[in-house]
Amino acid sequence: MKDKSKALLTSENIIFVVLLLLGLVLPTFTNAYRLSQYSYYYSMTILALSITLVWGYAGIFSFGQAAFMGLGAYIYGILSIAAGRDGFNIFALLIAVVIMMALGAALAYFMFYGGVNDVFVGLITMCFGIALQTFMGQTAGEEWQVLGVRLGGYNGLTGIPKISLFGFKLGDVAFYFFTFIILILVYAAIRYSKITNAGYSLTAIRENRSRSELFGFDVPKIQVIVFAISTGLAALAGVLYSVWGSYIAPDNLSMTQSTIPVVIVASGGRKNPTATVLFAILYYFLSGKLAASGSSLNYIILGAILIVVLLFIPEGLFSTLFSKMDKYILRRA
Amino acid sequence: MEKKILELKKITKQFGGIKAATDVDLVVREGEIHGLIGPNGAGKTTIFKLITGLYSPTYGRVYLGGKDITRLPAHKRAQMGLSIKMQIPGVYEDLTLRENIRIAAQLYTGKKELEAEIDRLIKLVKIDDLGNPKVRNLSHGQQQWLEIAMSLASHPKVLLLDEPAAGMGPEETTFTAELVKDLNKQGLTIVFIEHDMDFVSLLAQNVTVLHYGKIFAEGDMEEIKNNKEVQKIYLGAV
């Protein structure tokens, strides 16, 4: 029993509990506007976690997460605007995620059963994003309507409605908790999955694909499944983002938008969801402060951190810090 | 005669204009230790890749336990009981010893029995004194034994060993030979590739000699040892 309680006292768990408590009490000492900013940070953290799963766990480098996120948001926007009933929107969210998982599975099927891997996956997903952004950008005309909703070209979709649960429209505080709970669930699932058979399958194919095949793992099938789940998570992040800002536009699908979460995950520690969450929330918090002063300094700082991390602590800033802290805790215990 | 467990029929593999294997017929019988030998570039590893499914043959067929597995993907063959220890240790270096075995075993053992199965496999290859270090920190020989443990996790019918004693010192080589004999005594059919004729004569009951991708000679150990032509190709005369 004592051993068990000791095993729970890891730096990751401590950080998690601290973040959880901070997240729970935050609404009591901040105003509604600031609080809603956190809904945005949490959505983007879910996007970063989708990369932790597909890249950090399974070794599949996807550069298209922002595109999947954006497309998920478009689908939610179209469905919810077309339906025009608040009660339907939670289903619009689910439908968007499911459609995007199917799309992710289809894309992954052609890549992984076609033997495409490594850097080429990065290139294909990047091209997918660029093509999608370009396409959505030219949908300004009257003729570009889906279910009677105009796609709006570079202006994107505006007036995307809020989500309602049990007949109540989620206002700032409720939506804050909505995104917070989803983030916790996604984080917990990804973190727990690491020690399951599924998680070990991902580790196996990340570390050595052909060897794992010879141990009996159906490598392309595992790759398709994890890619589809990751696409679904990106879409979920996109829906939350579009509900938060009530709009989605082709700019959200850009290369820059796809790069930032990749850099966040790489800098924090790509195999470690706790590191990803911590780094993502800190980054978006700080960049929010910097953006308020009207500069792009956040990109420069993020880039500088990435270079330092990749040169000196390739496993990532926080995952390295966590393992150092754990050694310290073990020595003290 | 024991029944055939693994059989290659007229297996040919062509890479562009180069034939890495030509019309290779090979029969491995249940319970034997079969050596596959030949000079560098004779096509031994190619044959292993054709058996495991990493390569598909230009023509010819592969049978496992009488079933045609020529068109099956590698992972299906592995699940059917074909296991391999690769030449360069195919272990997961960044994971611990037990995690390595867990990955190899999880498809074949229920969750509740996994820990016990890991213990069994570690004991089976006699590396239970190593503890649970990161595999990167193990010696070359220890990694080879670990990989043998991992390839046993699927309860294979046939175990392929690609140069099991490569890069080992004399003591480690003896340990490996004993280990292979032990496993064979427990009923496992073993096919191995080796350069070192001393090691081959320690182990093999039957031997197939490959040369330039073709079968050069076949027979029991004594016949091959006394075969003048085989001696010649090993001395580079042919």
pLDDT of B1-47, one tens digit each?
A: 789 999 999 999 999 889 999 999 999 999 999 999 988 888 999 99
Residue A7 predicted with pLDDT over 90: no
The pLDDT of residue A8: 81
Residue of A nearest to B80 (CA): A216
At B163-175, the pLDDT tens digits run 998 888 889 999 9
Query: Do A213 and B86 count as a contact with CB atoms less than 8 A apart?
Result: no
User: How far apart are the CA of A184 and the nearest CA of chain B, in angstroms?
Assistant: 26
B99 shares its domain with B139: yes
Give me the pLDDT at residue A287, please. 83
Pull the structure tokens for residue A296.
């792009």
Domain of A67 in residue numbering reads as 2-332
- The per-residue pLDDT of chain A, averaged, comes to 92
Lowest mean pLDDT among A123-127, A282-286, B72-76, B102-106: A282-286
User: Do B145 and B164 belong together in one domain?
Assistant: no
Q: In what order do the strands lie in the sheet with B18-29?
A: B18-29, B4-15, B59-64, B67-68
Least confident of A138-142, A185-189, A198-202, B103-107: A138-142
> Which residues in chain A are contacts of B92 at CB distance < 8 A?
203-204, 207-208, 211
**CA nearest B75: which of A250, A222, A191, A276?**
A222
What pLDDT was estimated at residue B39? 86
Domain count of the fold of chain A: 1
Judge if B140 and B28 occupy the same domain.
no
- Whether B71 and B27 map to the same domain: the answer is yes
Residues of chain A with pLDDT > 70: what percent? Answer: 97
Q: How many domains does chain B have?
A: 2
Instruction: Report yes or no: A214 at the B interface, CB cutoff 8 Å.
Output: yes
Per the CB < 8 A criterion, the answer to whether B67 and B80 are in contact is yes
B168 and B207 in a single domain? The answer is: yes
Contact A282/B at CB under 8 A: no
Chain B residue numbers with beta carbons less than 8 Å from the beta carbon of A218 are 73, 75
Convert the pLDDT of each residue in B186-222 to its tens digit: 999 999 998 878 888 889 889 999 999 999 999 998 8
CA–CA separation, A96 and A103 (whole Å): 10
Q: What is the pLDDT of residue A1?
A: 44
Residue A135 has pLDDT above 90, yes or no: yes
Tell me, yes or no, if A200 comes closer than 8 A to chain B by beta carbon: yes
Least confident of A55-69, A145-159, A183-197, A292-306: A292-306
CATH number of the domain to which B219 belongs: 3.40.50.300
Determine the structural domain holding residue B124 and report its residue range: 89-152
The residue among B89 and B75 whose pLDDT is bigger is B75
Q: Are residues B181 and B220 in the same domain?
A: yes
Contact between B92 and A210 using a beta-carbon 8 Å cutoff: no
Which CATH number do you get for residue A183? Answer: 1.10.3470
Domain shared by B230 and B142, yes or no: no
Q: Is the pLDDT of residue A194 over 90?
A: yes
Cβ distance B95 to A208 less than 8 Å, yes or no, reads no
Say if the Cβ atoms of B75 and A214 lie within 8 Å.
yes
The mean pLDDT value for A52-62 works out to: 96
Is the same domain home to B9 and B61? yes
A113 at interface of B, judged by CB pairs closer than 8 A: no
The 3-state secondary structure of A145-207 reads: EECCEECCHHHCEECCCCCEECCEECCHHHHHHHHHHHHHHHHHHHHHHCCCHHHHHHHHHHH
- Number of cross-chain residue pairs from A and B with Cβ atoms under 8 Å apart: 59
Nearest to A206 by CA among B235, B63, B112, B94: B94
What mean pLDDT do residues A216-227 have?
A: 98
Of B128, B152, B176, the residue that ends a domain is: B152
Helix axes A255-268, A32-51, angle to 10 degrees: 80
Instruction: State the pLDDT at residue B237.
Output: 46
Higher confidence at residue B75 or residue B235? B75
Calculate the average pLDDT of chain B. 92
Share of chain A above pLDDT 90, in %: 78
Quick one: pLDDT band at residue B236, thresholds 50, 70, 90?
low
